[in-house]
Amino acid sequence: MSRGYFIVFEGVDGSGTTTQSRLLASHLREAGLPVTLTREPGGTPVAEKIRQFVLDPSLEGISPMSELFLYAASRSQHVAEVIVPSLDRGDVVICDRYIASSLAYQGYGRGLNLEEIEQINRLAVGECLPDATIYLTLPVEVAWKRLGQRDSADRLEQTGMALQEKVARGYQEIANRDPAGLVFDAQLEINRLAERIQGALRRRWSWFPEEKK
């Protein structure tokens, strides 16, 4: 591989993007491939500070536009400091959330203009777009139950099911028009879902490692 490959996981809160990013990273590492596993918002010390700020449950009254800029600021730092250098080294970069999260949450969820979100993100990331985006779909009621089982919910998770419903519908539309998108049912058992994702990537890319025996 010369330039690496950039794989993003997306989905509503509770859909398991973090778990599935980790499982994919372990699979590729076990096969001896160089992997950078990272997440948004965050992924670098500066961006993790922005994450703490933007996800702070006590942060009230922030406007959707300010939120959009904070996520874009985190993303810009992350692209420059981690994603592009890792791809240049030839790593497979696996990122838990990316631009589609801003479209789904700040656009479909909070009502900001989708084209403006794309423009701001283009400024933030330049040409650095995913080679594949894996969308995990989950009915909102199921997502909600899963979240209830966690001990702490962040500010966004506390804003309610109505927002999550808009976000879920948004993801459907985003996935439908994403040529690099792959959609999976997040209700599948964790390991079966991981195998399905790996199978789809194996069919797409000849370098993708064989199934574990």
What is the C-alpha to C-alpha distance for residues 80 and 89, in angstroms, rounded to an integer?
14
* DSSP one-letter string for 22-35: HHHHHHHHHTT--E
Alpha-carbon gap, residue 79 to 191, rounded angstroms: 30
Tokens representing 207 are 């370098």
* DSSP 8-state symbol, 82: I
Q: How far apart (Å, rounded) are the C-alpha atoms in residues 19 and 194?
A: 9
- Of 22-30, 97-105, 136-144, 171-179, the window that binds ligand TYD (rule: CB under 6 A) is 97-105
Whole-number minimum distance, CB 38 to ligand TYD, in Å? 11
Which residues, 112 to 171, sit near ligand TYD by CB under 6 A? 154, 156
Number of Cβ within 10 Å of residue 153's Cβ equals 13
> Smallest distance, Å, CB 206 to ligand TYD?
31
Instruction: CB nearer to ligand TYD: give 9 or 208.
Output: 9
**Site mask, ligand TYD, residues 52-91, x = CB under 6 A?**
---x---------------x--------------------
To the nearest whole angstrom, how small is the minimum distance from the Cβ of residue 185 to ligand TYD? Answer: 19
Residue 167 token pair:
């976000």
| Nearest residue (CB) to ligand TYD, 89 versus 150 | 150
∠ CA 71-187-32 to the nearest 5 degrees? 70
How many residues form the binding site for ligand TYD (CB under 6 A)?
15
Tell me which of 5, 35, 40, 91 binds ligand TYD, using CB under 6 A. Answer: 40
DSSP 212: P
Binding site for ligand TYD (CB under 6 A): 13, 17-18, 39-41, 55, 71, 97, 101-102, 105-106, 154, 156
